[in-house]
Amino acid sequence: MAVQVPKAEDTEMNMTPMIDIVFQLIIFFMLQLKFKEIDRQIDSNLPKDRGLAATPTQPPDFQKIKIKVFRREFDKAETEQYTLVKIDNTHEFQLPKAWKGYNDEPKDRQNEYDATIAKIEAVVKSKWNAQPDKSLVKGEIVAPPPKGGFVPHGDIMRMLDVFLVTGLTDVVFEGAAAPLTNAERAAAMGGGEG
């Protein structure tokens, strides 16, 4: 008895069962996959005062320790000019007149400057320590225009150092100076004549 062997081009492989099994495995693994609790949760702060279930929110009341710096006697000779520091409108300090910079001054003037800065630090530290919740306290350095724009950069940085020494690191600056007129710019560059 002779058996007829089919030719090679007549044989086909049926792929339908294999595709069915692959899809069943994919569905099985998708249903069995579990994410960690941390991966499923996304931290987000959505606005609570909008949407379907709006609830009014109150932002926390931040307490500010405000240091205002002014340049006084700017229209007079350079030897008469000084920086005035006000803390919350309750304390007022005058930095030494005609201050050129820390390294350009004699030792006794440096000591006078340091003593004034130490007094400012003590006031800010007492205000900082009086706050019950320190996370709601912000520092603010204000140089109100127009005279605040003439405060030397070193004096502003020393006020920032006062906050940092105290432990207050959330500090904002306010009071960008108004654009200078040509006469003011010349006075600032030429030594105080205005």
Quick check: 153 pLDDT over 50? yes
Q: Enter the pTM of the model.
A: 0.57
DSSP state of 50: S
CA distance 81 to 151: 10
Quick check: 177 pLDDT over 60? no
- Under CATH, which architecture does the 63-190 domain have? 2-Layer Sandwich (3.30)
Q: Which residue has the tokens 């002779």?
A: 2
CA distance 102 to 3: 110
**Phi and psi of 147, rounded to 5°?**
-70, -25
DSSP 114-147: HHHHHHHHHHHHHHHHT-S-GGGEEEEEE--TTG
Task: Dig out the tokens for 95 from the structure.
Answer: 């930095």
CA distance 153 to 101: 10
Most confident of 17-21, 52-56, 60-64, 86-90: 17-21
Quick check: 117 and 159 in contact, CB under 8 A? no
Residue 24: per-residue pLDDT = 95
CA distance 155 to 48: 42
pLDDT digits (tens, 9 = 90+) for 79-96: 787 888 888 878 888 888
Residue 124: per-residue pLDDT = 86
> In this predicted model, which residue has the larger pLDDT, 125 or 3?
125
CA distance 189 to 194: 11
**pLDDT range class, residue 27, cuts 50, 70, 90:** very high
Q: What's the mean per-residue pLDDT of the chain?
A: 76
3-state secondary structure of 135: helix
